Copies of this chain bind each other. A is one copy, B any other.
Amino acid sequence: MNVTTIDPRDGRARPTDLTETDESGVETIVGQASRANQWLADLGRLGRAQVLEAIATSLGTRRENLVATAQAETGLSHTRLDTELTRAAVQFRMFAAVLRDGGYLEAAIDHAADTPIGPGPDVRRMLVPLGPVAVFGASNFPFAFSVAGGDTASALAAGCPTVVKAHPSHPLTSRASADAIEAAVRSTGGPAGVTSIVYGEQAGLALVRHPAIRAVALTGSASAARAIGAAIDERADPVPLYAEMGSVNPIVVLPGAAASRAEQIADGLYASFTGSGGQLCTKPGLAFVASDAAGDRLVEALRDKVTASGGVVLLNRRIRDAYEQGAESLQRAGARLAARPPIDAGAGFTVAPTLLEVDLPGLTAEIAEECFGPLLVVVRYRDVADLDAALAVVPPSLTGSVHRGPSDHPDVVRRLADVLAARAGRLVFDGYPTGVRVSWAQHHGGPWPSTNAVHTSVGATAIRRFLRPMAWQDAPEWLLPEELRDEYTAIPRRVDGRLAPGSDSHG
């Protein structure tokens, strides 16, 4: 079956020369990935770092074509896509740095020694690649969470080839991204299959069931994660699933924050919930604002901005329909329409941003549900003491944010931070959860239903998802990986329980 591409700006499907991958196609592609696995292993850390940098460069070289292709398939702005492509390249470069540092290997050496339970053998441990990884790319990040995204960057860094199930919202961008990676790999003398694509739902399921696939990474919905999890459970050998799902990302604006900078927060909130069409897993879906004069000012400013805003093109028909239905069902559940500009929907997937409002006693689990797209529910509270119970209604999320002002008591802030920390993976102070920094300390997790695992797809530790520990007991030195030999000191290692930083680190 042929794969079509749809421009969300006009909603029209256009043919492509791509076809859905059939069973034998999946077999061929996974076979290539299995062979590429050995090549990646043989390269070693430093060799793989060079490949990652070549990929980053290749993405840059093809920037114009990649961004234009993505724009026609996603309707996202040129600026946004241009930045996202930079981010994707940054991710490959960051994992090159992670490889050079070598700490990710968690190399540890325990020399033979007497122990309280008898003579202990020499034990040396480090992490080794799992093998080929299936990646289910996201609709909303055609670069940074797709074929050339963080999953591929971290998996290749780990030494694991990826087979990506292309998202139907951007098949041509996926193809162009894979071509960019393939060109870079070829330029370093590598084989086919380091990163490949399959098209179609059936091909995606065939991937998950394939015995050579050793882990699955997904950015999608909780129901997609459950379906893929069920397919994994049917395997003779279930493999790890790393799922990034949805998130409501509550923001609490304390009274003092609104009193000191109502308009500024309104600007920030507006930018954060409407940017990229509100199609970000870190989009704030709920903002708690006090029912006082400053809070009124904040909401008024927000209402003005939303009323004056233009239409937003969403990624695809399904997302558009879910957005409209979500906006309706939140209102049926009791949220008041606070602002929504009159937008002529036209032929494409254009929608109007929506601002809803509810008084805290009316906040129900239904109203706290995520609505993907440019929609924000403002929850008006009378007393900060009521926030604890209200936040318990909000599904656990990737992030929780607090805006403070000079008049907000530190005890209130601390209490709020504790409540949010129990239900989120990242606490943001006086800022917005969108615009995730790509860096060593970053991560992208939160309790279910935001993610399903303790390791996440953003930040340096994303690589750990695709590694497993291996121990060597009383191994001859010549057989050990270089990083585990006594005289090798270039990387951080734990020797007899004591951490030794690498002599070459960032040298």
Contacts and interface: CB of A to CB of B under 8 A. Distances in A.
Interface of A: 83, 86-87, 89-90, 97, 101, 103, 106, 108-110, 115-118, 120-121, 123-125, 128, 130, 226, 229-230, 233, 237-240, 396, 410, 413-414, 417, 421, 425-431, 435, 437-443, 445, 447-449, 452-456, 459-461, 464-465, 467-476, 478-479, 492, 494, 496-502, 505-506
A120 B437 contact: yes
B103 A461 contact: no
A240 B473 CA distance: 29
A83 B469 contact: no
A474 B413 CA distance: 14
A445 B452 CA distance: 21
A128 B420 CA distance: 13
Contact of A474 (B124, B239, B429, B498): B429
Contacts of A497: 97, 101, 439-440, 506
Contacts of A492: 499
A488 to B, nearest CB: 15
Given A123-B437, A426-B473, A441-B494, 9 more contacts: A97-B497, A125-B441, A237-B396, A429-B472, A431-B474, A440-B497, A442-B471, A454-B465, A500-B501
B499 A502 contact: yes
A468 B83 contact: no
A293 B125 CA distance: 36
B498 A499 contact: no
Contacts of A437: 110, 115, 120-121, 123, 473
A-B residue pairs, 3 tightest by C-beta: A108-B441, A237-B448, A426-B471
A86 B460 CA distance: 38
